[in-house]
Amino acid sequence: MNKNVFLTFMIICYLLLIMFVYYNYTSNNTVSNVICDNKCKYYILFFMFLMGIGTLLYELERNDKYSQIIICVLLIGIYGLIYFNETHTIHYYFAFLVFIDILFFMIRHCYLTNCNVILMSSLYLEFFTLFYILININDNIFYGEIIYILNFAFYYLYLHFIQ
């Protein structure tokens, strides 16, 4: 198979997840409030599992061992985030792992693309967004988290089209 097929599969799963989160968002302060809710959790885990398979197959096609490792760790972190809600301390360890792993992936590919200006700008936005989230951790960070997630999705897509 080629990586375009895997990317299309990933996008479909991702869009289904985004629509589900959007329709279930009421006044939650964090994305975790939505994805860890028992009425959403297993639906989201199912589509994240499918998206994870597509992502791993995509990364195998790209043939970059370090990216594969980073993505595996990222997926483990995401599954942990979804499975354990915010009442468990381990949830915050998984959150840290996910936020940092995304940065590792972005830094690695900025380096590999000789600091492509678009990728570098996206990386800067990711750092600023993470800083915003950390400063406002006790307030409503839902939109900050959404920006962080969508910026990473943009980065991943852009990376696909320049390689």
- How do the domains of the chain map onto residue ranges? 3-162
Kindly report the pTM of this predicted structure: 0.92
pLDDT of residue 26: 66
Distance CA 14, CA 9 (A): 9
As given in the structure block, the two tokens for residue 17 are 């997840």
Helix/strand/coil (H, E, C) string of 129-149? HHHHHHHCCCCCCHHHHHHHH
* CA dihedral (138, 142, 148, 152) positive or negative: positive
pLDDT of residue 84: 94
**From the CB of residue 163, how many other CB atoms can be counted at a distance below 10 Å?**
11
pLDDT of residue 31: 87
Distance CA 9, CA 122 (A): 24
pLDDT of residue 99: 98
Q: Tell me the mean pLDDT per 10 residues along the chain, length 163.
A: 92 89 75 84 92 96 96 97 94 97 98 97 98 94 93 97 89
**From the CB of residue 98, how many other CB atoms can be counted at a distance below 10 Å?**
22
pLDDT of residue 101: 98
